[in-house]
Amino acid sequence: MRLFGATEHLFRFDAHDVWTLFHSFAFDFSVWEIWGPLLHGGRLIVVSYSISRSPGEFLTLIAREGVTILNQTPSAFYQLVQAEREHPELGRTLVLRHVIFGGEALDVRATRRLV
């Protein structure tokens, strides 16, 4: 609760946001993924294990479902970016508002090459 309260002014989550439960519920990042939409009235898309292991299928899912809040480890995000490069038509349909990183160190230089 404290984390959401302390970051409210940064993210401004609301009932229009669509989140994914990408990570295992045993991973601490899942707490953020589950409670974010529940606390703010948003929608939670539970990602199947097989889709979480296929960057192309995950890209299709987040485009189709209109995901606005994406929580990713940097290594998973880099794979998602590669899938978007292979399918730029899907990338153009994304409506992401925020990508929130956690779980491992982020290579800021790599993110600069992505934007």
Q: What is the pLDDT of residues 7-44, one digit of tens each?
A: 999 999 999 999 999 988 888 888 899 999 999 999 99
Distance (Å, whole) CA 93 – CA 39 = 27
pTM: 0.90
Q: What is the pLDDT of residues 50-82, one digit of tens each?
A: 999 999 999 999 999 999 999 999 999 999 999
